[in-house]
Amino acid sequence: MADFDLDDERAEELSTLQSIYPELVIDPSAPYTATLDLLVAPAKPLPVTFGSEQLALRLEYLPPLHLEIVLPTNYPAEAPPLIKLAAIPWLPEDIAHKLTDEAKSIWDEYGGGTVLFSYISSLQEQAETAFGLEELTLPSSLRNELEDYNRRTKRELFDKETFDCVVCLEPKKGSKCHRMQRCSHVFCVSCLQDCYNSCIDEGSVNLVKCMSTECGSSKRKKERLLSPKELLQIPLSRETVERYAKIKRKKKIESDPTIIFCPRSWCQGAMRTSKYPKITDVSQMDDSDSETEDDTSQTQTATADTGPEKRAIGVRGMDRLAVCEDCTLAFCIVCLASWHGDFARCEPRDATQLTEEDQASLNFILKNTSPCPTCSVPCQKSFGCNHMTCAQCKTHFCYLCSAWLSPDHPYQHFNDRRFKHCYQRLMDGAEGDANGDVQFGGRRGAEQMADFWEQEAMRIQIQVNEEDAG
């Protein structure tokens, strides 16, 4: 505690001021010297542009004013307080000088009275209007510092507050709550997690929005889904958020009449498009994703009456080219055939109709590959044993019959007499099955058997024809 002369007006003023502003720090080695940090929180976020950037960043909190206060011996009767304002990178120098000189002006108005409380109150009032600044332009080097301070201060003040969650109706500290970025409604984290995890698990992604009854009540405002980035901040697990983003993307693709799907019946993947880019990092998917979703919905509504042609014959040249995002097949959006070049003339065809090339590819796949029992990806072995691991979903399966194998005991399948097609045949076709001597079970075995009887029928028919001719 500083050594004050209790009869000194300076001691009384500093003591009173410290009870109002607990953050006021009095120098113990100099009893009539103090420092104070004043929060700068403009009533309206201040637009700040950094360097050559055109988009302004709106800051709700700016680094504080650091005041150094010295009360001279002849204060307050004969001399004003000595105020020093520490250098603040974001505050223009002319405004800083004006704020420093204001202490003397107020002292003159009061006719030699104590003025510290009035002076600090004046600074706080001016801070609410950002000291008259409507916008700021600062060097790019200050961006990270000011942005981090704004985010950190907002979170610290939010954590100290208490809120009533409208879902569980219990008062919760801000550190246990989340404020919605778009509408500023506050809910406790546990209620948000219970609701959103359930919605995403069930595939009801359209319910992942603010739970307040006030949101969406106005006809002018459209309810918008939460962005993946905000869901991670609540927080929800990354796996859950990735599922949410994928389901939402899938729904948008399926409802968009301009999207063409792969003509291969075993694929059916959507065409590549910059409108719905593949999801790579959900932590970078912010509100702009929701904006795109709304714009898409509006476009669909506007075109719903006219019923846009999905495969217009008038599409010319390379505009007809589409590439499947799953199997990378290049195909024509008009005739759905494999890409035939931009000079060929083509007509629309049924999506179930396969070209000779597509049918030949499908027949080859059926006869020469074994499908994964989980994801149906066709696999072909070049060498090795018949215990396979799917490259896509990591499922263990038998190459001979496509049966699922236990990851813990995958070789037990080949020692079980019940599987007659696979018993004691772990190493059959170790050099590959291209020679055609390997006997398969399951779907591939059925294709193999059908091919055998087709050739056998042709052989018998040829033999009969030769006997009749003889």
- The domains of the chain are located at 9-139, 161-215+222-255, 258-286+320-343, 379-434+445-459
In the structure encoding, which two tokens stand for residue 138, read together?
A: 């600062």
Looking at residue 96, its pLDDT comes to: 92
Residue 400, pLDDT above cutoff 80: yes
More confident: 6 or 361: 361
Looking at residue 296, its pLDDT comes to: 42
Instruction: Dump pLDDT digits (tens) for 221-267.
Output: 556 899 999 999 999 999 999 999 999 999 999 888 889 999 888 88
Looking at residue 2, its pLDDT comes to: 53
Looking at residue 355, its pLDDT comes to: 64
Task: Write phi, then psi, for 58 (nearest 5 degrees).
Answer: -90, 115
Q: Which CATH class is domain 9-139?
A: alpha beta
Burial class (CB in 10 A: 0-12, 13-18, 19+), 245: buried
Report the percentage of the chain scoring pLDDT > 90. 46
Confirm or reject CATH 3.30.40.10 for domain 161-215+222-255, answering yes or no.
yes
User: How many Å apart are CA 340 and CA 35, to the nearest integer?
Assistant: 78
Looking at residue 350, its pLDDT comes to: 60
In the structure encoding, which two tokens stand for residue 164, read together?
A: 């009533």
Do 410 and 387 touch, CB atoms closer than 8 A?
yes
User: How many Å apart are CA 375 and CA 395, to the nearest integer?
Assistant: 9
Q: How confident is the model at residue 121 (pLDDT cuts 50, 70, 90)?
A: very high
Instruction: Dump pLDDT digits (tens) for 273-297.
Output: 989 988 888 887 775 444 444 444 4
Looking at residue 303, its pLDDT comes to: 38
DSSP string of 423-439, one letter each residue: TT-TTTTTT-STTS---
- The neighbouring-strand residues paired with 389 are 396
Instruction: Dump pLDDT digits (tens) for 185-208.
Output: 999 999 999 999 999 999 999 899
Q: Which of 15-19, 53-57, 97-101 is predicted with the least confidence, judged by mean pLDDT?
A: 53-57
DSSP string of 109-130, one letter each residue: HTTS---HHHHHHHHHHHHHTG
Q: What is the mean pLDDT of the chain?
A: 84
More confident: 342 or 180: 180
User: How many Å apart are CA 248 and CA 254, to the nearest integer?
Assistant: 10
Fold matches, 9-139 and 161-215+222-255: no
Residue 97, pLDDT above cutoff 70: yes
Element (H, E) at 442: helix 442-469
Instruction: Dump pLDDT digits (tens) for 11-48.
Output: 889 989 999 999 999 988 888 899 999 999 999 999 99
User: How many Å apart are CA 197 and CA 13, to the nearest integer?
Assistant: 56
Q: How confident is the model at residue 393 (pLDDT cuts 50, 70, 90)?
A: confident
SS3 state of residue 108: helix
Instruction: Dump pLDDT digits (tens) for 123-156.
Output: 999 999 999 999 999 999 999 999 999 999 999 9
Looking at residue 222, its pLDDT comes to: 58
Residue 357, pLDDT above cutoff 80: no
Looking at residue 361, its pLDDT comes to: 79
In the structure encoding, which two tokens stand for residue 307, read together?
A: 């019923």
Instruction: Dump pLDDT digits (tens) for 301-314.
Output: 333 343 433 444 44
Q: How confident is the model at residue 116 (pLDDT cuts 50, 70, 90)?
A: very high
Instruction: Dump pLDDT digits (tens) for 406-453.
Output: 989 889 999 988 888 898 988 888 887 766 678 888 878 888 788 888
